[in-house]
Amino acid sequence: MTCITILIHCNDQSGIIASVTNFIAQKQGNIIYIDQHVDRDQNVFFMRLETEFDDSIFDENSFKSSFKDELVDKFHFTWRIYSSDHKVKMAVFVSKYDHCLYDILGRYNSGELNIEIPFILSNHMDLAPIAKSFNIPFYHIPITKNSKVEAEAEQLKLLEYHDIDFIVLARYMQIVSKTLIDNYPNKIINIHHSFLPAFVGAKPYHSAFKRGVKIIGATSHYITEELDAGPIIEQDVTRVSHSHSITDLISKGRDLEKIVLSNAIKLHIDRKVMVYNNKTVIFS
Amino acid sequence: MTCITILIHCNDQSGIIASVTNFIAQKQGNIIYIDQHVDRDQNVFFMRLETEFDDSIFDENSFKSSFKDELVDKFHFTWRIYSSDHKVKMAVFVSKYDHCLYDILGRYNSGELNIEIPFILSNHMDLAPIAKSFNIPFYHIPITKNSKVEAEAEQLKLLEYHDIDFIVLARYMQIVSKTLIDNYPNKIINIHHSFLPAFVGAKPYHSAFKRGVKIIGATSHYITEELDAGPIIEQDVTRVSHSHSITDLISKGRDLEKIVLSNAIKLHIDRKVMVYNNKTVIFS
Amino acid sequence: MTCITILIHCNDQSGIIASVTNFIAQKQGNIIYIDQHVDRDQNVFFMRLETEFDDSIFDENSFKSSFKDELVDKFHFTWRIYSSDHKVKMAVFVSKYDHCLYDILGRYNSGELNIEIPFILSNHMDLAPIAKSFNIPFYHIPITKNSKVEAEAEQLKLLEYHDIDFIVLARYMQIVSKTLIDNYPNKIINIHHSFLPAFVGAKPYHSAFKRGVKIIGATSHYITEELDAGPIIEQDVTRVSHSHSITDLISKGRDLEKIVLSNAIKLHIDRKVMVYNNKTVIFS
Amino acid sequence: MTCITILIHCNDQSGIIASVTNFIAQKQGNIIYIDQHVDRDQNVFFMRLETEFDDSIFDENSFKSSFKDELVDKFHFTWRIYSSDHKVKMAVFVSKYDHCLYDILGRYNSGELNIEIPFILSNHMDLAPIAKSFNIPFYHIPITKNSKVEAEAEQLKLLEYHDIDFIVLARYMQIVSKTLIDNYPNKIINIHHSFLPAFVGAKPYHSAFKRGVKIIGATSHYITEELDAGPIIEQDVTRVSHSHSITDLISKGRDLEKIVLSNAIKLHIDRKVMVYNNKTVIFS
């Protein structure tokens, strides 16, 4: 059995659902999941399907080619098709904070994440022992003001060499360049410490503390050129009070960050996120 | 434009989605919402569709009849079809507590609920002034041990006379008889004060207080014969601490109850709830 | 039995708690609640006490005078003392939205709020029938660009005439003038529709929708001259998704607004809020 | 500077707060935190104080002795005094699940928990590599029906030898004997997978799934003889829907479990939990 996930978006128009489901039926696929959304504001139609095919009759390339001929050209789909055969490859970028890394690797180790992690990359050596204890290669590429361009070239080479599908910035603490973003559009997941877009910029916990907020949060989003303004994948919050110090806020924030980031990673791996106009549709 | 909502469940089998969407396309309907769920545990397929038809070509009765002939008999659907033309009629049963009633009537008055409320019914006179201030007929049917059977006969007569679609028990505080339940299966919505199924029975807040719980909740469910064990429509919780008295818990519980009940009502009105094996599928 | 609530803040220094509790003991008071907080960032000490006195021996004026002589002058307290004898008077300002008003009046009617509501004031006539159905005087003071100064003078006269303790802006939709704020410092409670300080300004739900946020909230705060930047009393949030329209967000927001505003009102009535440097300490 | 934490409970009576704070003042201590609670239902007074003393004048033993003579005997306190000098020793019991262990050790490693972990103990070898990667001794004490008594004798010997202060059952999956509980009363912290006391017993996630609950939770509590009925330290919940499989529920439950357990551990370490009549007071 091969399981195929299809993601489509296009201008909203009559008959899309019937045409697509009909096409699947003709190809002898069994739809096991269908979800659709219409953004009435922008008149965009989104659809996500999971379909099972018998291996004896299914050929991915000919399926894609028929799909394109019969549907894509007619409805002007933007489309992606993923096969369950392909195991997704994720690179993790870290800096000095370890809480998100531990959370990701703990899940990875226990089989919760059905992926490969070819390497962990950092601009510092601090977390190398953690990578080692999980038997994952660790690359140290230091970054200085002058070496930034070469460092990123090296990063890109590593990503390409290992055929990486997407990148997780697990508290990476560095601004990612346009080149990297352009090579991995909506494929670099960041976690932002604080309630985005509440306190954009440095020291958000200090701002939140000073303002006496009663709730803090964390947001995971895809990286875009505009800082901390990319499409939001997942958010969560927790209550705080005047009795919490900045240290307490940061500690509670870390707990949020690791859970929110891991949830965003799982949504991405399961192909449940669609992006349009800097906004996500989450089929969960 | 007529908008039709179709709810289907049946044994899971290949080709349902394609057949249904194809059928709609042939009838020149435009699917504006489709959602499906498969309960793999029980092998049951659920689907909800919203479809728009041009009034000039759409006839509800002939649509239903074709639907039955071409699809229901083939796939053995359990099915319901609702037209946007029909305005739902809701009866509200109350006793002495007013918080849920105020919440419902406030929403009703501001146009948030697209329904009619032909009457409010109570076994006590306490809330008659509230009904009056909202210009809604109030029926007082007292219930004593000896009068219970006649009282319920009277209730049924009222419900039938007013062609009521569903009943909301807004803290009604009476056990509803099998007769009423059988006449309105999965159409009587209750709100349970406490975290169901945590502390079944009387005085749950006292049990929760004594146990020192840190979280309390409210559950809205359809009434079934087994007390407080019907299909759950909506739940919510809030944090409490040792510093809260039983009175505080009850007050916080009231806030939960009114919001949870109103959310359940809205899901029911929008035909977003399907029930199977004492469990709900909520398409929201 | 008289119950006295004492609120104190001052520079943090040794011996405050012992001195105050000792003073109460000498006056034969029984402390039934004590809570304290030190803001180490700003070196400020906060304390809240509830104390019971036998009526036969307690005289409020002489207590206050001793308190001032023995403690206030020594520690340079900023202080407030409230007696349970005094019933708090709250004015409600509304405009056209009714959800917060219904919520407040429902609680008021059921005895949940131990206050008087001498009047409801609005710049529109829309909600007059609601005030009438709860038997509360309704004053209509229209506001135009040219009449703003006179309108506020009229408001102030009403507030003074009725000896109002604090004001609730239950979706009042008007910017309140400096004069009113200065007369009621940290005594005007607002509810802000949206997640403060996320999207300051007009149409926050539209901004939140456009940004695809997964969580929306409401914030209740005291009014200060800087718009929506006053000390935060209470916040709450709820989850949303891409499937929610702007109308859905607004409806969910209304539910948050009414609960958050009512919680803030209760905290204020119970004298559980202290303000310092535009930030609250909530002793709850 | 020595920091002393004092926990007291006794029958509620006049003058306790004044007497205790006065006593501290006489000993030249500076109270930096005071919190108190009266359980009016049971007439019990609870208090928690943190006090700083200059090392040059403070002697712990003489302080304790004076405290006993002047206060404990007079008010019949049940009391505990902890000095910041003493570093708490925590043993971790595990079985085969690793998510809670990773979470605890990640925090331990990053310095978030100010404790020692002398050893990890398990009835299985599965998690030994994790202990090794964090450089913590791992003891494997298998348990069979016949060896249970000896196994527990061995556990006790280890606990005593290492002078363990409290035990964390990080998904230990074994029923703990009365002997161990009696030796560590309110000092064995458990995490219960499911919403306690909702579905007591085996397979709670299956029960929750079958019931179609919309919210699941986790509860951390002290172990008592009655299974899963000990004093609750911390709880949290998350939303689920019909679209989540049992596997999804369990995965979401794991995320709750690890955060709730770690929060409970932190409250215990900080001496913020008091237990009375099988119920906790949490001074946080």
Using CB atoms within 10 Å of the CB of residue B67, give its burial: 0 to 12 exposed, 13 to 18 middle, 19+ buried.
buried
CA–CA separation, B48 and B17 (whole Å): 11
Record the pTM. Answer: 0.90
Q: In chain A, which residues fall in CATH 3.30.70.260?
A: 2-83
- When CB atoms are compared, the residue of D195, D212, D245 closest to B198 is D195
Whether C35 and chain D come into contact, CB under 8 Å, resolves to: yes
| Residue C62, burial from CB neighbour count under 10 angstroms (0-12, 13-18, 19+) | exposed
**pLDDT score for A226:** 87
Residues B90/B166, Cβ–Cβ less than 8 Å:
yes
With beta carbons under 8 A apart, name residues in chain C contacting A37: 242-243
Q: Which residue on chain A is closest to B13 by alpha carbon?
A: A30
Predicted ipTM?
0.88
**Six-digit token pair at D220?**
């951390």
The pLDDT value recorded for residue D75 is: 96
pLDDT in tens, chain B (284 residues): 899 999 999 999 888 998 999 899 889 998 888 999 999 888 999 999 999 999 998 999 999 999 999 999 999 999 999 998 889 999 999 999 999 999 999 999 988 999 999 999 999 999 999 999 999 999 999 999 888 899 999 999 999 999 999 999 999 989 999 999 999 999 999 998 765 445 556 777 888 888 888 998 899 999 999 887 899 999 998 999 998 999 999 999 999 999 999 999 999 999 999 999 999 999 98
Q: How many whole angstroms separate alpha carbon C38 and alpha carbon A44?
A: 54
Give the separation between CA A258 and CA A77, rounded to whole angstroms.
35
Question: CB-based contact (8 Å) between D7 and chain A?
Answer: no
Q: Which two tokens stand for residue C94?
A: 């509304």
Chain D adjacent subunits, 3+ CB pairs under 8 A: A, B, C
Q: Is A9 within 8 Å of A47 (Cβ atoms)?
A: yes
- Confidence (pLDDT) at B105: 96
Peptide bond into C118 cis (omega under 30): no
State the pLDDT at residue B196: 41
Q: Within 10 A of A15 (CB to CB), how many other CB atoms are there?
A: 18
Ranges for all domains in chain B classified under CATH 3.40.50.170: 90-282
In this complex, the residue of B211, B237, B282 whose CB is nearest that of residue D242 is: B282
Classify strands B2-11 and B44-53 as parallel, antiparallel or unpaired: antiparallel
D-chain residues near A103 (CB < 8 A): 102-103, 106
Q: Can you read off the two tokens belonging to residue B170?
A: 């807004």
Say how many C-beta atoms besides its own lie within 10 A of residue B161's C-beta.
10
Fold of A90-282: Rossmann fold (3.40.50)
B7 Cβ under 8 Å from any chain D Cβ: no
Digit-coded pLDDT (tens) for C168-190: 999 998 999 999 999 999 999 99
| Residue B129, token pair as written in the block | 């002034």
Judge whether D141 and D157 are in contact, CB under 8 Å: no
D103 in contact with chain A, both atoms CB, cutoff 8 A: yes
Distances (CA, A) of B101 to B97, B130, B168: 8, 8, 10
Q: What per-residue confidence (pLDDT) applies to D145?
A: 85
Which residues of chain D are within 8 Å of residue C22 when distances are taken between CB atoms? Answer: 18, 21-22
- Cross-chain CB nearest to D30 (options C14, C33, C34): C14
Check residue C197 and report its DSSP letter. T
A106 SS3 class: helix
Q: What is the dihedral of CA B151, B153, B156, B160, to 10 degrees?
A: -130
pLDDT band, very low/low/confident/very high, at C18 (cuts 50, 70, 90): confident
**Statement: A2-83 belongs to CATH 3.30.70.260:** yes
Q: Which residue has the higher pLDDT, B76 or A210?
A: B76
Report yes or no: B2 and B53 within 8 Å, Cβ to Cβ: yes
With CA atoms as reference, report the closest residue to D192 among D154, D225, D148, D227.
D227
Q: C106, B98: Cβ pair inside 8 Å?
A: yes
Token pair belonging to A171: 């508290």
Of residues C228, C248, C255, C270, which has the active-site annotation?
Answer: C228
Average the pLDDT over A255-277 and give the result: 96
How many Cβ atoms sit within 10 Å of the Cβ of residue C129? 12
Let me know if D163 is exposed, middle or buried by CB neighbors in 10 A (0-12, 13-18, 19+): exposed
pLDDT category at C206 given cuts 50, 70, 90 is confident
Residue D257: DSSP 8-state: H
Q: Are strands B166-169 and B188-193 parallel, antiparallel or unpaired?
A: parallel
Active site residues of B: 228
Mind telling me how many Å the CA of A29 is from chain C's nearest CA?
27
CA-based nearest residue in chain B for residue C127: B110
For residues C92 and C119, what is the distance between their CA atoms, to the nearest angstrom?
Answer: 7
Q: What is the pLDDT of residue C200?
A: 58
| CA closest to D43 among chain C residues | C32
According to the model, what pLDDT value does residue B84 have? 85
Condensed to tens digits (0 to 9), the pLDDT of residues A96-123 reads 999 999 999 999 998 999 999 999 999 9
Query: Which residues between 232 and 261 in chain D have a beta carbon less than 8 angstroms from any beta carbon of chain C?
Result: 239
| Cβ pair A161, A89 in contact under 8 A | no
The pLDDT value recorded for residue B260 is 96
Measured in residues, chain A has a length of 284
| Angle between the N-to-C axes of helices C204-211 and C246-269, in degrees from 0 to 180, rounded to the nearest 10 | 120
For residues B253 and B246, what is the distance between their CA atoms, to the nearest angstrom?
Answer: 10
CB contact under 8 A, B25 and A18: yes
Q: Answer whether D213 sits within 8 Å of B235, measured CB to CB.
A: yes
CA distances to C93, C95, C250 from C174, in Å: 10, 8, 19
Report the share of chain A in percent with pLDDT over 70: 97
Contacts of C255 in chain B (CB under 8 A): 259, 262
State the pLDDT at residue D40: 85
Q: Say yes or no: B44 contacts chain D, CB-CB below 8 A.
A: no
**Could you tell me which of B210, B212, B209, B174 has the C-alpha nearest to residue B190?**
B174
What's the CA angle centered on B119, arms B116 and B122, to 5 degrees? 140
Torsion of CA D209, C214, A165, A277, to 10 degrees: 140
pLDDT in tens, D141-168: 999 988 889 999 999 999 999 999 999 9
At C117, the pLDDT band (50, 70, 90 cuts) reads: very high
* C197 touching chain A per CB within 8 A: yes
Q: What are phi and psi of B99, to 5 degrees?
A: -65, -40
DSSP 3-state assignment of A278? Answer: coil
Are D1 and D265 spatial neighbours (Cβ–Cβ below 8 Å)? no
What whole-number distance in Å separates Cα of residue D100 and Cα of residue D70?
44
Convert the pLDDT of each residue in C41-78 to its tens digit: 889 999 999 999 999 989 999 999 999 999 999 999 99
Q: How far apart are CA B36 and CA B48, in angstroms?
A: 6
Tell me the average pLDDT across D252-259. 93
User: What is the percentage of chain C residues whose pLDDT exceeds 90?
Assistant: 73
Comparing alpha-carbon positions, the chain A residue that sits nearest to C284 is A241
Average the pLDDT over C150-155 and give the result.
95
Task: Give B231's DSSP letter.
Answer: P
| Pick from C44, C50, C13, C30: nearest CA to C272 | C50
Q: How many other CB atoms are found less than 10 A from the CB of residue B210?
A: 16
Q: Does B82 touch chain C (CB under 8 A)?
A: no
Asked if residue A232 lies in contact with residue A204, where contact means CB atoms within 8 angstroms, the answer is no
Q: How far is C121 from chain A (nearest CA, A)?
A: 30
CA dist B152 and B158 (Å) reads 10
CA atoms of B72 and B20, how far apart (whole Å): 10
Q: Six-digit token pair at D56?
A: 């040059």
Residue in B with minimal Cα distance to C256: B259
Average pLDDT over residues A69-85: 94
Q: CB-based contacts of D130: which residues, under 8 Å, 6+ apart?
A: D98, D101, D102, D105
Q: Is the pLDDT of residue A11 over 90?
A: yes
Sign of torsion, CA A113 A118 A124 A126?
A: positive
D282 in C contact zone (CB under 8 Å): no
- Chain A residue whose CA is closest to B52: A14
Quick: pLDDT tens for A215-236: 988 999 999 998 878 999 999 9
Sort B282 into a burial class: Cβ within 10 Å, 0-12 / 13-18 / 19+: buried
Q: Which of D24, D25, D34 minimises the CB distance to C34?
A: D34
Structure confidence at residue A200 (pLDDT) = 58
Under the banding of pLDDT at 50, 70 and 90, the label for residue A158 is very high
Q: Which residues contact B150 (CB under 8 A, 6 or more apart)?
A: none
Q: Which two tokens stand for residue B212?
A: 């020192």
